[in-house]
Amino acid sequence: MTTKWIEPRQCIPMPELERAFYDQSNYFYLKRTISRDGYNPAYPVRAIYNRKLKKNEVFDGIHRIKVSQDLGLDFIPIIIEDIARAEAIAEGYKANRTHAWYNTMDKAKHLEALANEFKVTGDPKYSREKTVGRPGYLHKVSEKTGEDVNIIKRHLRLLKLPDSVQQMIGKGNLSYTSAVEICKLLGTEKEHLIPGVAEKAQNMTKRETASYVEAILKGVHHPFKACDLCGKGYPKERISWMKFCPQCTKKLRNGYFESENVEPVSEFEDSETPFMDYVNRLEEINEVREKLGLEPLKGLKPRVVEREVQG
């Protein structure tokens, strides 16, 4: 490959590798460096020639070409490679992995672009039958980029999340690991809860998010969010600060607990709820702390429930 010097206006960025969440500080640092010292010929941009557009599509050095165009440079060094478009996207992806910080959502979109390119080309070597149930293009993407198939699959799944959640991930408000856990709600009857769950997960660890999502999928709620009246966990359709399950809320509105024909109950009907598991553990912990002469831990206490007398 020989390096040529051409005008920056003859180059365009490859659209499959454009970034939406690039760190602006890196861009302005690159611009100041080139403005002060000139373009370093040791770092030529790499491109393929687009015959339809009659332009050189840059896949390695997109921001260098943009800076050169902004500064109005006369010539820049470039290497025009004679490779397939899919190969160019893969090379650009690997370059982005090594040059600077790579945003999770940008990475996911670039992997999707590469996967779509392999879908179009189609290679019988990577048929579904030969890839243990996974689409062949995922293994092709893994082979060309060096990424693990499972990592590629997780990133592509992030693109199925609502746009608002993708923005949270791209801006760094929602971690990648928490987003992967939230993806478990995709394709379920609780999928409409994803935006609310993502809002709460911004202040939660990956483990807390996993527990939160698992509770929703199982039809119960987080131990600390169980109903204050009956002690049972419940799937909240609205992720909020409510402390009563829908059944108890309805009974409160109808004056059920103010009925004259009720008697107190000292224990809950279902002692296997997450809430009661937490209470029982807390009591065991306090017994040990009492033997050690330590102050007991404070926690949630079960409330007395009144129910209607049968007969």
The span from the first CA to the last CA of the chain, in angstroms, equals 92
Task: Look at residue 279 and tell me if it is in a domain.
Answer: yes
Provide the number of structural domains found in the chain. 3
Task: Look at residue 130 and tell me if it is in a domain.
Answer: no
- CATH of residue 46's domain is 3.90.1530.10
Same domain as 251, residue 207: no
pTM of the model: 0.67
Same domain as 258, residue 184: no
Same domain as 249, residue 170: no
The predicted pLDDT at position 244 comes to: 67
Runs of H (alpha helix) within the chain:
24-37, 62-71, 85-99, 104-121, 136-145, 149-158, 163-170, 176-182, 194-201, 206-217, 246-253, 274-291
Parallel, antiparallel or unpaired: strands 76-80 and 262-265:
unpaired
Task: Look at residue 89 and tell me if it is in a domain.
Answer: no
**Alpha carbons 218 and 239: distance in angstroms, whole number:** 16
Same domain as 71, residue 14: yes
Same domain as 212, residue 259: no
Stretch 122-137: mean pLDDT, rounded?
A: 50
**Alpha carbons 131 and 141: distance in angstroms, whole number:** 13
pLDDT in tens, 1-31: 688 999 999 999 999 999 999 888 888 999 9
Dihedral sign computed on CA atoms, order 101, 105, 109, 114: positive
CA atoms within 13 A on the CB side of 48: 17
**Alpha carbons 28 and 298: distance in angstroms, whole number:** 52
Q: CB 99: neighbour CB atoms within 10 A?
A: 14
Q: Could you tell me the pLDDT band of residue 214, with boundaries at 50, 70 and 90?
A: confident
The predicted pLDDT at position 295 comes to: 75
Contacts of residue 194, defined as CB under 8 A and 6 or more positions apart, other chains included, come to: 161, 162, 165, 182, 185, 186
Q: At residue 133, does pLDDT exceed 50?
A: no
pLDDT in tens, 47-104: 999 999 899 999 999 999 999 999 999 999 999 999 999 999 999 999 998 887 899 9
The range of the structural domain enclosing residue 291 comes to: 243-308
**CA angle, residues 260, 261, 265, in degrees to nearest 5:** 110
Same domain as 253, residue 214: no
Q: At residue 268, does pLDDT exceed 50?
A: no
Task: Look at residue 116 and tell me if it is in a domain.
Answer: no
Instruction: From 203, 218, 233, give the residue that closes a domain.
Output: 218
Task: Look at residue 280 and tell me if it is in a domain.
Answer: yes
What's at 224, amino acid-wise? Answer: F
| Closest residue by Cα to residue 50 from 59, 42, 60 | 59
pLDDT in tens, 140-176: 899 999 999 999 999 999 999 999 999 999 999 999 9
Stretch 169-197: mean pLDDT, rounded?
A: 92
Task: Look at residue 117 and tell me if it is in a domain.
Answer: no
CA atoms within 13 A on the CB side of 292: 10
| Closest residue by Cα to residue 59 from 92, 22, 107 | 92
Q: At residue 107, does pLDDT exceed 50?
A: yes
Same domain as 261, residue 192: no
Task: Look at residue 68 and tell me if it is in a domain.
Answer: yes
Do 260 and 301 touch, CB atoms closer than 8 A?
no
Q: Could you tell me the pLDDT band of residue 212, with boundaries at 50, 70 and 90?
A: confident
Q: Percent of the chain at pLDDT above 90? A: 45
Which position has the higher pLDDT, 65 or 281?
65
Same domain as 211, residue 248: no
Task: Look at residue 46 and tell me if it is in a domain.
Answer: yes
